[in-house]
């Protein structure tokens, strides 16, 4: 592999790893915010306010930035980063990128297996009239289960972000090691000594 091609591949791996870290970090921030502020705040309001607010928030978060960039982008870039570090010399990065990928898959599984069905119930509910109907619509969400599983995916996304951040540290160290001079013994009248030469 030529030096220019190798440098190009290294840059590409670095960019993909950075994008994976950024998108996973954004994903973790969204879920942590829902567990830490949104759901506790909604828990203190009346049923009518809760239903209206949750429906509005659900509609707002269903946008290309969240679904395409953060949710699917995190999966795409993290998976691609793991594939790009399959080479033997890059396995230390692969281990952490692979762990992050598992975390992202956990997040996606919880999102589509738990939260999306619950969201759909309140999203498609007919416009309630009386207090009893409002309470029934709110009960369909099952706030306790929704919040508990959101905390799980928030923790998983945060761990994934941490794994990718550490993978970046290792990736940088490997890049420095590749460009570091190798020491080779040079014999002479004074005995062997070490001479730094490029690999």
DSSP 8-state class, residue 199 = -
Q: Give the pLDDT score at 7.
A: 74
Contact 13, 89 (CB under 8 A): no
Each of the 199 residues of the chain gets a pLDDT tens digit; together they read: 566 677 778 899 999 999 999 999 999 999 999 999 999 999 999 999 999 999 999 999 989 888 888 889 999 999 999 999 998 788 889 999 999 999 999 999 999 999 999 999 888 887 766 788 889 989 999 999 999 999 999 999 999 999 999 999 998 887 665 544 434 445 555 554 544 444 4
Query: Nearest 5°: phi and psi at 130?
Result: -80, 175
For 68-74, which contacts have Cβ atoms below 8 Å and span 24 or more sequence positions? 69/23, 69/26, 70/23, 70/26, 70/27, 70/30, 71/27, 71/108, 71/111, 73/19, 73/23, 74/20, 74/23, 74/24, 74/26, 74/27, 74/104, 74/107, 74/157, 74/160
Contact 20, 77 (CB under 8 A): yes
Q: How many domains does the chain contain in total?
A: 1
Q: Which domain range does residue 88 map to?
A: 3-197
Which residues, at least 6 apart from 193, have a Cβ–Cβ distance to it below 8 Å? 185, 186
Query: Nearest 5°: phi and psi at 196?
Result: -85, 120
CA–CA distance, 181 with 187 (Å, rounded to integer): 18
pTM of the model: 0.82
Which residues, at least 6 apart from 47, have a Cβ–Cβ distance to it below 8 Å? 131, 134, 135, 137, 138
Q: In a 3-state reduction of DSSP, which class is residue 182?
A: strand
Query: 132-152: per-residue pLDDT in tens?
Result: 888 998 999 999 999 999 999
């Amino acid at each position: 592999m030529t030096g220019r091609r190798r440098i190009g591949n290294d840059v590409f791996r670095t960019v993909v790893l950075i994008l994976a870290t950024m998108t996973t970090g954004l994903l973790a921030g969204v879920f942590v915010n829902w567990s830490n502020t949104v759901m506790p705040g909604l828990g203190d309001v009346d049923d009518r306010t809760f239903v209206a607010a949750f429906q509005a928030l659900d509609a707002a978060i269903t946008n290309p930035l969240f679904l395409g960039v953060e949710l699917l982008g995190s999966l795409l870039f993290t998976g691609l980063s793991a594939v790009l570090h399959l080479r033997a010399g890059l396995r230390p990065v692969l281990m952490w990128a692979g762990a992050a990928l598992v975390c992202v898959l956990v997040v996606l599984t919880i999102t589509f297996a738990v939260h999306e069905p619950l969201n759909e119930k309140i999203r498609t509910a007919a416009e309630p009239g009386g207090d009893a109907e409002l309470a029934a619509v709110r009960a369909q969400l099952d706030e306790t289960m929704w919040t508990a599983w959101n905390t799980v995916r928030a923790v998983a996304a945060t761990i994934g972000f941490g794994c990718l951040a550490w993978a970046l540290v290792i990736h940088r160290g490997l890049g420095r090691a590749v460009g570091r001079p190798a020491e080779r013994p040079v014999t002479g009248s004074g005995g062997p000594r070490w001479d730094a030469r490029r690999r």
